[in-house]
Chains A and B, each alone.
Chain A
Amino acid sequence: MASKFGLAGGIPERRVRQIWDAVDSRQFKNALKLSAALLSKYPNSPYALALKALILERMGKSDEALAICLNAKELLYKNESMLMDDLTLSTLQIVFQRLDHLELGTSCYEYACSKFPNNLELMMGLFNCYVREYSFVKQQQTAIKMYKLVGEERFLLWAVCSIQLQVFCGNGGEKLLLLAEGLLKKHVASHSLHEPEALIVYISILEQQAKYGDALEILSGKLGSLLMIEVDKLRIQGRLLAQSGDFAAGANTYQKILELCPDDWECFLHYLGCLLEDDSSWSNGVNGDPVHPPKFVECTVSHLTDEVLNSRLSNASAFLLKFQVDANNCFLRGPYLAILEIERRRHLYGKSNYDDIMKALMQYFFKFGHLACFTSDVEMFLQVLTPDNKMEFLEKVMKGTNSLPTIPTKVLGLSITAFKIQQLIGNIDKVPVVEHEALAGQMVDMYWKSLPLSKGLDPQESMHGEELLSMTCSVLVQLYWRTRHLGYFLEAIMVLEFGLTIRRYVWQYKILLLHLYSHLGALSLAYEWYKSLDVKNILMETVSHHILPHMLLSPLWVDLSNLLKDYLRFMDDHFRESADLTFLAYRHRNYSKVIEFVQFKEQLQRSNQYLVARVESPILQLKQRADSIEEEEGVLESLNCGIHFVELSNEITSKTLTFNEDFQSRPWWTPVPGKNYLLGPFEGISYCPKENLTKEREENVRRVIERKSLLPRMIYLSIQSASVSLKENAEVNGSMSEPKISSELKFLLERYAKMLGSSLTDAIEVVMGVSTGLKSSEAFGSDTVDWLNFAVFLNAWNLNSHELSQGGDQCGHTWHNVDTLLDKHISEKARSMESLICFPGVEEVAKWIRDQIKRPEDEVVEIILSSLRKKGQGEGPGLVFRILESFMSSIDEVELGSRISQAVKSWSHVDVARKIVTGSSTVLSEFLRICESKIKSLQALKRQMAQV
C-alpha cells in the first residue's frame, strides 16, 4: 500500500498509513477509531471521510458508508481551492463501486477532470472509470484527450482499442474502424510505432476492413521488425495472404513455417487450404463457436481440375514425407497425420484411395499405436472408410498388436488401442451377449495383469492401463442397456470403485461413477464423487453440468444450495473484477487482451448455465421456506417481489445464450444433460450420437428459463391474492391494490398458458378437464409440473377475481381442481415407483418412503450382491465381478509391490453394496423430511382453519 500515500488533501502520510494498515489486516474497529481521531483533526477532508466510508463498507454498514461518501463528494465539489488528488478520488471510487454506485465514482472523476483539464493522472483515473462502466465511447474520448496532451503511443492505442470495442461489443458501425486506421496512420507517419502489440492492433484494424494488401505491406516494411519471433510474423503473413486470395504465396509462407515447426497441425491445415484454394479453415475461426471449434475441416467443392488437385496434393505429400525421415522428429505425429489428412482430402474429392488411406493409417499405427491419443487422433480419418474397410483396419490392428514384440508398456498401449478401435467400429452389440461380456472380462483381466508395470510409479502418477477400467465400464453399461440386467450396471460400479481403491485420483472413474450413481438414484454418492473432483473457479462453468441438472431435481437442497451459491459467487466475482483486469491489460499495453477480456466477460454473462442458476437459486430459497408464509414473504421481498425475473423471462427469447460446458468427459449414454439413452429402448451403440444435440438443448434451456423466471412473481402475486381474498371485505394493508394483483396475475397466467402452447381459455379447459376426469393427464404432455403450477396459480387468481366461479361455492371448485390434480399426479408418480402403492397424497408418499428406508440394510445388500453372481454358464451378469473377486486370491506382493498389494487387499465389494444402500436411503430420507414438514404445515393450517 506504501505507493498509495502522498500528501492526500494535506494529511501527512504517517497519519493515514496506520489506518490503511489496520484495514489491510482487517482490524476494522481499530481502523474506525483511528479514523475518528483523524476526522477530529480534519473534519472537512474528503479523503478522511472517504477512508471512514471505506472502513464502514468493509464492516458491512453500507448505508452509513454511502451517506459519508456522498458527504465527501459534496465537500469535494464545494471546495474550489482544494487540490483534487487521485488518492482521494480513487478511494471514493473504490467505496462507490463496492456499494454498486459506480456512476457516483465516475462523476467525481468527471468533475475533477473538468476542474483540472490537463492533469494526466486524473484523466487516467477517469479512463479507468469508463473501463469499469464499459462506456467505450467515453473511453475513446478520454484516451484521445490524453493522447493530444502528451502524444504517447499508448494513449492512442487505448483510443483505438476503445473504437474496436465499440465495433465488436457495442453499437459502433464498422466505419469507425476507418477512423481508427486514420489515427494510427497519422501517428505512424510522424512517430512510427514502438510496441509489437501496437503493430498487431494496427494490422487487425486493417484486416477487419479486409485491407489485406495494406496490412501485408506494413508487415513486410520496417514496422514488421517489431515482431521478434519469426514464426509469429510468418503466421500473420500466411493468414493475410490467404485471405487476400494469394494462395500461392500463402502456401509458400506456410511451407516456411512447417520447416520451422513440422508438427504444427493448424499451420499444416492452412497450408493445405492454400494449396487447394479453399479458405474454409480461416472462415471457421471467425464465424464458428470459439469454445467448441469443429473437430475437422469440412471441404468445399474444389474448382481446381483433377490434374492440378492431384499434383498439388502429391507435392504436399512429398514435402511432408521428408519430415518423417528426419530422425530428430521421432516424436512428431504431425508429418504422419498430415499424410492421412492429404489422403482424406483426396478421398473427399472423389478419388477412391482406400489402399492409400489404409497404408497411411497402418504406418501411423506402427509408429504411434501405443499412445493413449492414437484412437482420438485417427477418429476423423476412420469416418471416411466404408464399414468393410473399417473391419479390415480393425483386423490389421489386432494382428499388428500381436506381431510387435516390444517393451511391455508399448504392448499394453497397443492392446488398449485395439480395444478402443474395436469399440469404435467393431459393431460389438451385434455379437452374442456372451462375447460382448467376454470383452469386458478381457479388459479387466488386462488391467490386473498390467498392474505390476506400475509398481515403481509414484502414487500420484497415472498408472499404465488405467483407461481399461473406464472402457470396461462402458462395455458393461452397453450390456445393461442391451439386456436390462441391473447386474451389469452394478458391475460397472464395482469395477470403477475397485479402480479407485487402487488409486484414488482417477478423475475419469469419478465422473463415470457420478453418472452411474445418479442413474441409480443414489445421488448423494454421485455428489460425494463430484466433490472429490475439487471443481472450482472456471471449472464450475465447464464441469458442473455433470451434477447440477441432477441436483436441481433432487431433494438434496442443502448441497444444491451450496453448489448454486459457489457457482454464482464465482461468476459474479468475475463480472465485478473483470474490468479491473481489462484496465491492467491496457496499462501493460497488451491491447489484444483488452478486446479478448471484454468479449470473454460477455461470453460468461450470456452463459445458459449462469442464467439457469440465477433463476433456480431463488426458486430453491422459496422451496426451502415454503412451510412458512412469513418466511416466504421475506424471501420474495429480498427478490424485489420477483420483478427482475419477469424481466429476465421477457428478455430471454431475444438473448443469444452461450454454452460453455465441456461435454467431452461425459459418458456415451448421456452425452449432454437431459439426454440419457439408457432410459429409452436399446438402439445399438452407434445410435448414440454425441454431437448435434446443442440446438435442441438451447431451445430447451430457453424455455426453462422463460417459464421458471415467472415463478417468483407469480408466487408473490398468489400470496397477495389469497390474503386479499381471506380478508374479504376487510381493509387491505398490502402495497398493491386488489384489481392490480388480479390483472397482473391474469396477464402472467396468459403468458404461462402461451408457453404451454395454449390460450388462457384453452389452458383452463385442459386443467379442468384433467381434474374432472374428462381428459386424460396425457394432455399435459411432458410438462406436467408446469401444468400443475398453472393450476395452482389459476386457483390463486380465482380466489380473488372469482372469474371462474359461476354461482354456488365461490371458489371451492378451483381448490378442488388443484387438489384432484395433485392427487392424481402424485398417485401416478408413486404407482410408477412401485406398483403396490395405491394411496395417493403426501402422507402416503411419506409412508412409502418410510417403508423403503426401514427395509433391513442387509436384505438390500444381499439383493445387490446376488444380482452380481453369475447363475450357471449362460448369459447374464457376473463374469466381470467373478474376475474382480479372483484377484483377491492372486495377490503377488513381490510383483505388485506393497502399495498396490495393500490397496487391493483393502477392497471390499460388500462395502460398496452397503454404500449404495445408504446412499439411496440418504436421498429418500431427505425427501421424507420434506414430506413430513409439508404434512406438519398442512396440519397446522387445517387446525387454524378449524378455529376460524
Chain B
Amino acid sequence: MTTIRRFCCNDLLRFASVNLDHLTETFNMSFYMTYLARWPDYFHVAEGPGNKIMGYIMGKVEGQGESWHGHVTAVTVATEYRRQQLAKKLMNILEDISDQIDKAYFVDLFVRASNTPAIKMYDKLGYVIYRRVLRYYSGEEDGLDMRKALSRDVEKKSIIPLKRPVTPDELEYD
C-alpha cells in the first residue's frame, strides 16, 4: 500500500512527521527547490493509506566522464513505516533512474561514520565503503563515501576502495 511518485512542493507541507525525526535534516527552501528544479526525477515520495507521507528520497546526478553518477542526498522513512523495506524501494528507484535514464556509472552517498544502522542497511543494499572523508560533518565527524556500481561500469572500477582517507576539500563535488 505504497504509492511512490515524484515529490512536489506541497509535500514539503506534509512531511513534518517524517522530518521531526532528529536524524532527518530539514534543509532550507532553496535547497529543496533547487533539487526539484534541477533533478525532479531524483526526488520521490512514498505515500501510504489515508495519503500519509511514509518517507522520501532526494538526490541528483552529476560528474564528468567516468565520474558521472547518481547521488543520494537524503533518504528517510517515518517511524510508523519502518521495518518494511521502504528505504530499499526508494533507493532502487534512484538507482534505476541513474542506471537506465541517465546511464550513470555508479550511485554514491555520504553517511556519518558513527551511524552504524544506516551503514549496515546500505551494505545490505550492495553499497561498499569507497573512502573515508575526514571531518566531513561540520568539521567534526568523519563521513563515509559509499558506492554501488551500475551496469555501465562493467568492470566495477568505480567502487574499488581508496587506500587512504581524503579531506573535504579533495572532494570533487559538494
Contact = CB atoms under 8 A, between A and B. Distances in A.
B167 interface: no
Interface stretch (A111-119, A441-449, A458-466, A920-928): A458-466
Contacts of A380: 49-50
Nearest to B50: A295
Given A265-B3, A334-B1, A584-B37, A507 B21 contact: yes
Given A333-B1, A337-B1, A584-B38, A541 B50 contact: no
A266 B3 contact: yes
B151 interface: no
A233 to B, nearest CB: 13
B116 interface: yes
B67 interface: no
Nearest to B21: A507
A815 interface: no
Contacts of B20: 507, 533, 539, 543, 665
A265 B117 contact: no
A458 B116 contact: yes
Interface in B1-59: 1-5, 8-10, 12-14, 16-17, 19-23, 26-30, 32-34, 36-38, 40, 47-52
A539 B9 contact: no
Interface stretch (A559-567, A592-600, A862-870): A592-600
B38 to A, nearest CB: 5
Nearest to A598: B9
Given A334-B2, A458-B116, A371 B83 contact: yes
Given A534-B22, A538-B26, A574-B29, A266 B47 contact: yes
B115 A460 contact: yes
Interface size class of B (residues with CB under 8 A): 35 or more
A458 to B, nearest CB: 5
B64 interface: no
Contacts of B27: 537
B81 interface: yes
A581 B48 contact: no
Given A379-B50, A461-B117, A577 B29 contact: yes
B10 A536 contact: no
Nearest to B20: A507
B125 to A, nearest CB: 15
A741 to B, nearest CB: 43
Contacts of B2: 263-265, 333-334
A539 B22 CA distance: 13
Given A291-B10, A295-B51, A373-B81, A538 B29 contact: yes
Contacts of B26: 534, 536-539
B16 A543 contact: yes
A331 interface: yes
A377 B4 CA distance: 17
A537 B29 contact: yes
A296 interface: yes
B23 A662 contact: no
Contacts of B13: 291, 538, 541-542, 603, 660, 662
A144 interface: no
Contacts of B162: none
Interface in A25-63: none
B24 to A, nearest CB: 10
A372 interface: yes
A680 interface: no
A303 to B, nearest CB: 27
B8 A596 contact: yes
A539 B19 contact: yes
Contact of B51 (A294, A542, A574): A294
A804 to B, nearest CB: 49
A640 interface: no
A500 B106 CA distance: 41
A566 B97 CA distance: 38
Contact of A337 (B5, B8, B49): B49
Interface string A282-300: 0000000011011110000
Contact of B38 (A296, A507, A590): A590
Contacts of B101: 228-229
Contacts of B115: 458, 460
A207 B15 CA distance: 29
Nearest to B101: A228
A376 B16 contact: no
Contacts of B29: 537-538, 570, 573-574, 577-578, 581
Contacts of B12: 538, 600
A695 interface: no
B4 to A, nearest CB: 7
Contact of A577 (B30, B38, B50, B97): B30
Contact of B49 (A265, A577, A590): A265
B84 interface: yes
Given A458-B116, A581-B33, A665 B28 contact: no
Interface string A253-294: 000000001011111000000000000000000000011011
A265 B47 CA distance: 9
Contacts of B116: 458
B51 A293 contact: yes
A209 to B, nearest CB: 22
Contacts of A593: 36-37, 40
B157 interface: no
Interface in A424-467: 457-458, 460-462, 466
Contacts of B4: 261, 264
A584 B34 contact: yes
Given A507-B20, A538-B26, A588-B38, A377 B1 contact: yes
B82 A462 contact: yes
Contacts of B85: 331
